[in-house]
Structure 1
């Protein structure tokens, strides 16, 4: 008998304990909120302020049930029948035919239950019922039951601390409070004589300089049941297939467990590379359990695996201690995004949707995604897409912004959770690092917790301290990573600096940093980001509105469609967002007649976000430097996506509509990217910023016109040098004419690093040509092989000091779906309105007269383009 699987996706019902009515479930996977919406019992929590009207759902007990027939295969002698629950959210008790078979309290754990002895006889009907208790209530009970631990949590209430459930369900500064429950992953019925329980691939890759590479790989398989042989088949990229059969000579029974392994040595294996550095070669692995006749396949498992060598380089250097990744012997700059769950209701996200999201990231020239620790371990479809697209994955364990307990039951649950997910995901070559937590170490300074990194090396003593979770991050999890997937790296937390930097204060010399002196903290000007870096920036960001089409979908009342309305504020969960966003807008842009309505104000937030994020990416990528002097190893923006329609840090909104910042990062992360920046003069009164103040103690708003220095550089992720021509122009904002002669220079671009072309270049006014200095942009363009491959523009700050009379913009359709955009005078923040289903090749760019016109490819829309720019008079 071959293994038989039945997915129990249909025929379910659900009800609340306060209601006797069973209602049909659309399908499983499911959660109770989506089913209530399906029946019209709650309004869509994503629209208006309906989240508040759905809050009662979290305080109820909910029941799911279904019926299934006893499998006919179960009558085969020696057959096993299991129910497999891939994920139950969260406090669940499952019964079969009235008998309790499972109690679960961890959303991240899968359960396999043998039901051979619980089935109804013959082909009778079996009733499966699952009861889900309120997570918040159970969390409060656990807090009360463990008074010895101080449950400190940020962002939300204390009840989430002891509960192994997606932490963002309690709400975050970008997400709603929607405490879901239900069978959130598939439920299946399996009948088998033999089953492959686990597959593990261990390998050592030796990269010889100038010679052949050698790969020693051992494939392990654990088999349950009556099989006499295990067959391993490894298919190479291309045609070659290696098949090895290992025979078990010992007698087997239905309850037998056997371990089989085989070792293969490959010379010059085809390696898996991150995007932009080489191809993503994947080998196809198939493992089979073979019956006594030597022919019948009892069970089969398939996996795609990739071979790569990953190193985290942490060496003392001129800047402190480095932090960057080396893949297959090549230094890789990690430019990417942080990822939160794609929906508050995860069963709604299809495998194709995950693929679409990762294609968005890859199309934006990004090569890394960080799976944040307050969400979930994503489904295999997410990581498969990363494997195929060459996206490196920084994977957090699911701990975020809290001081977690360590009582025995909690630790046991965490160990099961970690071990299961390590085993499930370890074959994905894209996952290069597991990280212990998100920002938990930052609680040490804020709450004066005990952390003696250098003097206390005893894990048992950590359990007795007031920061016992150190035991999880520095003992339990790294031990499990070593045991289960030795080819992957481990990092205790994010941010974390080798025990020397675990506080709220950023240490730019060691470890990874979360740079939140932008927006949070001191809310410094984004123009200071080049001076606010570190060895690896794993979080930084700026809030912006989504496009108007998205706003109109969640603000259903037209009277509420203005900046600062109750509904708009409700869909911006960031603490003190009004003060911070208005302060940044007011510092940089005019709040005149053209910024009164929602579209115009939203556009300014988008331009602000794009400027800030581009400023961070291009300046920190500049610090990638050269081999042996890697000042900055990577930049990950907070955040790529949203879990609901909201005003947030996301660069792509819930409906996958890209904000201008997405395109700004795409340009900054191009394989060859020119950068230009001028000396920054802070025009705001900041007594602490003595560096930017004159000796008189006053800020000089005219300094940007008279004290002008600028740098130009070229960043490259290419592994070969390039020869090109750099053209730097100085263009009047008022007239569009050049205010002085351009600079042209032949350049040889250093491979895989940054080439400084012009450093601290002083701009001197030609008084004979221009009597009165005026505002101008510095525009740098890089030409390679007669093609302009990159350009960048530096504007004088602040933008609000500039006048924007008619820009003489021309938008013409060159062909079906292709538009050409040009202007007679410099244009800041040209943004085309986007909506769901429309794809643009570029957006949110500046226009410089005399440069090549912008070509924008538009897919998915037959409508005429609508657009705006900074200073445009609203009609």
Structure 2
């Protein structure tokens, strides 16, 4: 029986170091009061949010305010709650903290229970005697000031903690070092015996589903097990609710570790997103005593076969980078994930669900949980099981720039082993978990990733082999033999880089000619939306400016200054809306090309993992696809399209052409299913006039991307300053579309796009808002038909939710409409329910806003056509 302590009221109080242990001044004998009063605390949570609510700090996201909060990490913080004694105390009572951040002393009714260090392994204390003796329990958790640790820049070899490092300053975050009780805490009451660790592993054999089950039985108190009195009931319930397996195992002193092999006939198999469904079976374990149940544990799992294969044309020294699920090679369409918030303890379940829904909507099938962040909370892994997102889980280690060598200090290795063992035992039961990695960008020397021979990584490999032998362990990401993408041939296995748009034509030459086997991290930077920027930039900081000239902009994304790049393409940018649109366009263009260049080499290349899906801090600009407040950038939608189940792409090597020059690029088609296809390709000017068109046909093969032929024509004279190539692919009853934007200018390639003022949008709502459909409870859905009623093409048309009470994502967005053309936009909204500082992002938590409101915009226009312009279809 468990009692969650987060259900009780907690308070927190700040002190200077060591003061709470002295309590009274030596000189005066008076009580030492501390630096704050007792204030309400969020548990799980982080102390910064509690201090803000109590008025001790200003909102740290605004302008430079986080600099004024850095004193917080240098104080000690005492958390306190008082709970009644459980009505039943059984044979043993344990106090369990799943996540203490970082070094803590735990007291019960004033008595020290022990000292715990480390974020990622639990602190567990036997409190049986104390609980039985007292009617109420005062629990105090004294957290020391945050340890001195490496930020993004430092010496990896000198890392000495298992504390999330991104808090100490990373390129996508400020320095805001979390302190708090960041994961669940509870009292656990045990009877004569209780369920301990349970290990569930699925596989297939001769058409049957297999579930390997190992369950530990813990014995408590002085009583012994009477043969035939206690049993363990094991049941497996299908996704349809049918009990497909049931047995009851007798327990005895000689049988305290139960192993069982469940065979499921005609199983419903679990597949990654885009490859099939994600049916989940429920495993029910019930401890029985003479027919009466007194402890039940329920776990969800999927049935699937997991294997790994080397790439086509892979060298013998390369690791296997192709994931094979149920004998089907899966081409990785991935994203890298940072923690959702600087205050990771305050992240809500709804926020986790929204993030995973963004992955699913973007056709993502794998997420890499980055080693500079955290081992995520249980709900995240359960959501990935549910939505079909394979997980690449890194242990908490990362590069530091000056040196990136995995630490070897004995104390550190002991702490790392504790964290790693705990992580493996907790997360190995999730069917979505697909591979482990020793950490991020760990190297033995410059540009040479560390290998299994490294003492640190060899230890982690052994832990995985012992506790989770089904899954592969990569030593690090990238995994070599070189770390960074290169033009050199035959040396790029799993590589990282780059993280900028590197220019025209350099960007296309590098990525278009790479022969990497796997591309597990790369990015391009782009600005956040105006909707987000005005939330954290004060009124005096809302015009485009170089980060060299603005401390505020620099504080929110120093590495990712795009203004010079953007003005090279578009000319001077004086307005914020205009700057954002141009910056996001180049981010989308740069990322789309890398993803498509990799996909054209399927399965010689095993996939792409874009850096990064999200950001834990509001940035003016960063490499994220979605913004801190949940808004999806233009790059999110172009990657969504590039990751489509059916996809057509153009293999080009530059963006600008001259009049009378031959335009010649190959067209590629790809789909997860085999079948006949037909492609329509056309070149159009800014008014929708067709310059040339051509058709292609052939047969798709699910295991490779097919070259459908060359699209070639002589550009007219005079040549349009901006022209587009539109590709439409038809196969298996589905359609895929792609558009590419080229210039005839020798510089300022896209400046003419800003002068396309002849487009206008007409919006028609096709239905009322629908909510609560099967499997989508809490989500609002609506379809809009958008028509370009003007004479110029409407570039990059996109929807935006305007009440700020809902998160919103569209089935597609940032698409171009030629004059007279119309498209349907299907949008999904979910009421905002973020934790921590995001609680204030939605007005009144959205309570006074009944329905979402959607407006539409296009490139080059600051006028959004919203609900007042919408005509509901009859």
Measured against the shorter chain, the TM-score band is 0.7 to 0.9
Task: Give the alignment's TM-score, normalised by structure 1.
Answer: 0.83
Out of 613, 624, 634, the residue aligned to residue 650 of structure 1 is: 624
Partner of 1:353: 351
**1:37-68 deviation digits (Å, cap 9, x = unpaired):** 11010011111111011011111111112223
Out of 757, 777, 795, the residue aligned to residue 742 of structure 2 is: 795
Offset at residue 400 of structure 1 (A): 0.9
**1:174-229 deviation digits (Å, cap 9, x = unpaired):** 011111212111221122213211111245533x5xxx346363443333336632
**1:451-501 deviation digits (Å, cap 9, x = unpaired):** 7x6xxx8x6xxxxxxxxxx2121x11111112112222211100003xx33
Offset at residue 703 of structure 1 (A): 4.9
Partner of 1:98: 110
- The separation in 2 between residues aligned to 1:826 and 1:596, in whole angstroms, is 24
Partner of 1:529: 511
Offset at residue 522 of structure 1 (A): 13
The answer to whether the aligner puts 1:127 opposite 2:127 as a matched pair is no
- The separation in 1 between residues aligned to 2:83 and 2:505, in whole angstroms, is 58
- The separation in 2 between residues aligned to 1:53 and 1:828, in whole angstroms, is 42
Out of 423, 426, 429, the residue aligned to residue 428 of structure 2 is: 426
**1:136-189 deviation digits (Å, cap 9, x = unpaired):** 34x5xxxxxxxxxxxx87435889821211111101000111112121112211
- The separation in 2 between residues aligned to 1:84 and 1:649, in whole angstroms, is 38
Aligned to 2:527, the other structure's residue is in SS state coil
Offset at residue 513 of structure 1 (A): 1.0
**1:771-827 deviation digits (Å, cap 9, x = unpaired):** 544453222112347864323334237683453454532311222551313354445
Partner of 1:247: 250
Compared CA separation, residues 773 and 216, structure 1 to 2 (3 A): closer
Offset at residue 131 of structure 1 (A): 1.4
Deviates more, 1:610-619 or 1:241-250: 241-250
The answer to whether the aligner puts 1:48 opposite 2:47 as a matched pair is no
Partner of 1:737: 689
Deviates more, 1:261-270 or 1:324-333: 261-270
- The separation in 2 between residues aligned to 1:261 and 1:340, in whole angstroms, is 37
2:174 and 2:556 in contact (8 A); partners too: no
Compared CA separation, residues 187 and 550, structure 1 to 2 (3 A): same
Offset at residue 839 of structure 1 (A): 2.5
Aligned to 1:28, the other structure's residue is in SS state coil
Out of 473, 493, 498, the residue aligned to residue 490 of structure 1 is: 473
1:156 and 1:170 in contact (8 A); partners too: no
Task: Give the alignment's TM-score, normalised by structure 2.
Answer: 0.83
The answer to whether the aligner puts 1:400 opposite 2:398 as a matched pair is yes
Out of 780, 803, 810, the residue aligned to residue 727 of structure 2 is: 780
Offset at residue 677 of structure 1 (A): 3.4
- The separation in 2 between residues aligned to 1:218 and 1:833, in whole angstroms, is 47
Partner of 2:810: 841
Offset at residue 702 of structure 1 (A): 5.6
1:197 and 1:222 in contact (8 A); partners too: yes
- The separation in 2 between residues aligned to 1:158 and 1:60, in whole angstroms, is 25
Offset at residue 635 of structure 1 (A): 0.8
Compared CA separation, residues 793 and 503, structure 1 to 2 (3 A): closer
Compared CA separation, residues 81 and 711, structure 1 to 2 (3 A): same
Higher share of residues assigned strand? 2
Partner of 2:777: none
- The separation in 2 between residues aligned to 1:301 and 1:388, in whole angstroms, is 19
Correspondence list, 1:540-689, <5 A = 540-564=522-546, 566=550, 568-575=552-559, 577-578=560-561, 581-587=562-568, 589-592=569-572, 595-624=573-602, 630-646=603-619, 647-680=621-654
The answer to whether the aligner puts 1:715 opposite 2:681 as a matched pair is no
Partner of 1:727: 680
Compared CA separation, residues 411 and 674, structure 1 to 2 (3 A): same
2:795 and 2:817 in contact (8 A); partners too: no
- The separation in 1 between residues aligned to 2:147 and 2:253, in whole angstroms, is 51
Corresponding pairs, count: 785
The answer to whether the aligner puts 1:82 opposite 2:104 as a matched pair is no
Aligned to 1:117, the other structure's residue is in SS state helix
Offset at residue 601 of structure 1 (A): 0.7
Partner of 2:24: none
Partner of 1:23: 38
Partner of 2:210: 215
Compared CA separation, residues 570 and 185, structure 1 to 2 (3 A): same
Correspondence list, 1:164-179, <5 A = 164-179=162-177
2:3 and 2:188 in contact (8 A); partners too: yes
Q: Over the residues paired in the alignment, what is the CA RMSD in angstroms? A: 3.2
- The separation in 2 between residues aligned to 1:704 and 1:622, in whole angstroms, is 29
Deviates more, 1:531-540 or 1:849-858: 849-858
**1:58-100 deviation digits (Å, cap 9, x = unpaired):** 11111112223333423x5xx1011011110001111222322
2:358 and 2:809 in contact (8 A); partners too: no
The answer to whether the aligner puts 1:810 opposite 2:764 as a matched pair is no
Compared CA separation, residues 300 and 520, structure 1 to 2 (3 A): farther
- The separation in 2 between residues aligned to 1:771 and 1:110, in whole angstroms, is 71
Correspondence list, 1:160-559, <5 A = 161-193=159-191, 194-206=193-205, 212-213=207-208, 215=210, 217-225=212-220, 228-238=230-240, 239-250=242-253, 258-291=256-289, 294-314=290-310, 317=313, 321=318, 323-402=321-400, 403-441=405-443, 444-445=445-446, 470-473=454-457, 475-497=458-480, 500-502=481-483, 509=490, 510-516=492-498, 518-519=500-501, 524-525=506-507, 528-532=510-514, 534-559=516-541
- The separation in 2 between residues aligned to 1:401 and 1:641, in whole angstroms, is 20
- The separation in 2 between residues aligned to 1:838 and 1:168, in whole angstroms, is 25
Partner of 1:746: 697
**1:495-522 deviation digits (Å, cap 9, x = unpaired):** 003xx33578687644311121645899
1:94 and 1:131 in contact (8 A); partners too: yes
Offset at residue 336 of structure 1 (A): 2.0
Unaligned runs of 5+ in 2: 17-32, 767-782, 830-850, 865-874
Deviates more, 1:424-433 or 1:745-754: 745-754
Compared CA separation, residues 852 and 482, structure 1 to 2 (3 A): farther
Compared CA separation, residues 771 and 331, structure 1 to 2 (3 A): same
Unaligned runs of 5+ in 1: 140-151, 252-256, 460-469, 625-629, 682-700
- The separation in 2 between residues aligned to 1:99 and 1:30, in whole angstroms, is 24
Offset at residue 840 of structure 1 (A): 4.8
2:334 and 2:364 in contact (8 A); partners too: yes
1:82 and 1:113 in contact (8 A); partners too: yes
Aligned to 2:748, the other structure's residue is in SS state helix
Partner of 2:130: 118
Compared CA separation, residues 568 and 853, structure 1 to 2 (3 A): farther
2:101 and 2:182 in contact (8 A); partners too: yes
- The separation in 2 between residues aligned to 1:15 and 1:520, in whole angstroms, is 49
2:484 and 2:497 in contact (8 A); partners too: no
Offset at residue 568 of structure 1 (A): 4.6
Compared CA separation, residues 128 and 502, structure 1 to 2 (3 A): same
Aligned to 1:438, the other structure's residue is in SS state coil
Aligned to 1:644, the other structure's residue is in SS state coil
1:839 and 1:859 in contact (8 A); partners too: yes
2:793 and 2:818 in contact (8 A); partners too: yes
- The separation in 1 between residues aligned to 2:186 and 2:672, in whole angstroms, is 46
